[in-house]
Amino acid sequence: MEPNIKNIAVLTSGGDAPGMNAAIRAVVRTGIYHGINMFGVMQGYQGLITDNIKPMDARSVSNILHLGGTILKTARCLEFKTDEGQQIAYNNLKKNDIDGLVVIGGDGTFTGAKRFSETFGVKVIGIPGTIDNDLVGSDFTLGYDTAINTVIEAIDKIRDTADAHDRLFFIEVMGRDSGCIALRSAIATGAEAVLLPERETSVTELIEKLALGAATKKSSSIVIVAEGHKQGGAYDIAKRVKETFDHYDTKVTILGHLQRGGSPSSFDRILGSRLGFAAVNALIAGKTEQMVGLKGNEIQMTSITEALTSHSFKLEPDLMEMTEVLSI
């Protein structure tokens, strides 16, 4: 395959996700294999504006597969949202003769990349790196599998103390717009209830469900709350439940950024490698404004525009029903 592109830069932007380093490694080494000069942009779009762009070789990405976070660092950059900021970023790309860009991140990252490409004609390929799993075009986004396993491990430990003390635990997990983490972790840990941004569940309905469990002699209950639930966060919901339902001693745990850290799972290491490899090959083939994703067990391309269109498609109806049936 003869490359029609000579210099590629890769960056990570927005929230970090386990597996990003595997993707960076694959991008850099695939490009070098094809004779392309590779660059790493430090601190996401901020690095494009400050010209914090560094040449990378095969050894630059040695021994990083097992690391969480991102060796390129990341930042949220308000200046890149402005016309002036994007012009500076484009000037710095041209100064370094970079004619292809791989961006690893979520919806905010892709929104910026789409506008950047449309305005300046920069060839851009996106890799979905977000633990929320909320981009159309990939069954799994980078970091989601690791985050789910982290949540499950934490909830299993909380269940032990909940059983020992007849406690009701409200556990808040990440998911401002997507309930993917909450839904799957609820099934995997046997949670008694799950509150999702995509589904209306009133506090009254929740209390009725918990009361039924208490009546059938459940010794503890776990309620998983996605941070974006319309009734509020775990603390607010727990307070309202406790006011009218005091069968259990009520506790709240916010897992927070614990979910983003840690060594990536084997799934995320392999996924990151596959997506990084595919992203560079897509640029070589002349593609732009596309996201590489995993559908079934195949790498497929989706336009960045389509990838940004929905947050709720991944909540499978059978999983939603299972949370009700299996928690009796």
178 within some domain? yes
For residues 201 and 238, state if they share a domain. yes
Write the CATH number for 36.
Answer: 3.40.50.450
For residues 28 and 174, state if they share a domain. no
316 within some domain? no
**What is the reported pLDDT for 1?**
45
For residues 121 and 163, state if they share a domain. no
In angstroms, the CA 100 to CA 124 distance is: 6
**Which residues participate in catalysis according to the annotation?**
132
192 within some domain? yes
Residue span of the structural domain in which 247 resides = 145-261
Please state the residue numbers annotated as binding site: 15, 25-29, 76-77, 106-109, 130-132, 159, 167, 174-176, 190-192, 218-220, 227, 251, 257-260
Average pLDDT, integer, range 131-156: 95
Alpha helix positions (H), 39-190:
44-50, 83-95, 107-120, 144-165, 180-189
For residues 269 and 124, state if they share a domain. yes
1 within some domain? no
Please state the residue numbers annotated as binding site for Mg(2+): 107
For residues 128 and 273, state if they share a domain. yes
**What is the reported pLDDT for 143?**
97
**What is the reported pLDDT for 3?**
57
In angstroms, the CA 4 to CA 54 distance is: 22
For residues 165 and 241, state if they share a domain. yes
Segment 9-47, tens digit of pLDDT: 999 999 999 999 999 999 999 999 999 999 999 999 999
> Tokens for 50?
């400050």
For residues 88 and 137, state if they share a domain. yes
17 within some domain? yes
For residues 27 and 77, state if they share a domain. yes
DSSP code at position 283 = H
pTM exceeding the 0.85 threshold for the entire prediction: yes
| Coil vs helix vs strand at 308 | coil
**What is the reported pLDDT for 194?**
95
Percent of the chain at pLDDT > 70 equals 98
**What is the reported pLDDT for 214?**
85
For residues 287 and 241, state if they share a domain. no
322 within some domain? no
Segment 188-240, tens digit of pLDDT: 999 999 999 988 888 899 989 898 888 888 877 899 999 988 888 999 999 99
Segment 310-326, tens digit of pLDDT: 655 568 889 989 988 99
The secondary structure of 29-58 as a DSSP string is HHHHHTT-EEEEETTHHHHHHHT-EEEE-G
**pLDDT at residue 131 greater than cutoff 90:** yes
Write the CATH number for 153.
Answer: 3.40.50.460
For residues 269 and 257, state if they share a domain. no
In this structure, the strands spanning 37-41 and 53-56 are: antiparallel
For residues 50 and 159, state if they share a domain. no
For residues 46 and 180, state if they share a domain. no
* Final residue of a structural domain among 238, 261, 284: 261
**What is the reported pLDDT for 313?**
54
Q: How many domains are contained in the chain?
A: 2
317 within some domain? no
Segment 248-296, tens digit of pLDDT: 889 999 999 999 999 999 999 999 999 999 999 999 999 999 999 999 9
Please state the residue numbers annotated as binding site for ADP: 25-29, 159, 190-192, 218-220
102 within some domain? yes
Average pLDDT, integer, range 293-305: 96
Segment 90-106, tens digit of pLDDT: 999 999 999 999 999 99
